[in-house]
Amino acid sequence: MDRIILRDLAFFAYHGVFEEEATLGQRFYFDLDCYLDMRPAGQSDDETKTVRYDFIVKRLADIVQNQRFKLIEALAEAVAKDLLTQFPQLQQVRIKVRKPEAPIPAIIKDIAVEITRDRKDYA
């Protein structure tokens, strides 16, 4: 299946279990694969027959910056649900959320979760 690919989208937000995360905030990075049939758009060169990636980014930013989650698992789930319910052309999404500044006692590049959801998961 065809896909729209967005990598390393960064946002500053206030998600996390610890009070410091809610107060100080931190960076979050997203990778998205949005699966859909792009033949109609490719054959017609008509933007209304696809999902514009700027619309995807706007929806993602709204959730990340205007809602608060303790768990990045819940953040990923909210993004998946929103994209699949707002854009009927999308059949499946894969979302990876990375948290490079997680307050844990170790030197790490980042921690991450990755989920894959289908349209039927939110029917």
Which of 49, 70, 96, 99 is catalytic? The answer is 99
Of 35, 19, 10, 118, nearest to 70 (Cα)?
A: 19
- Which pair of structure tokens corresponds to residue 110? 């980042």
Q: How far is CA 75 from CA 20, 45, 101, in A?
A: 18, 34, 16
Q: Tell me whether residue 99 is one of the annotated catalytic residues.
A: yes
Please tell me the distance from the alpha carbon of residue 31 to that of residue 96, in angstroms, as a whole number: 5
List, by residue number, the catalytic residues: 99
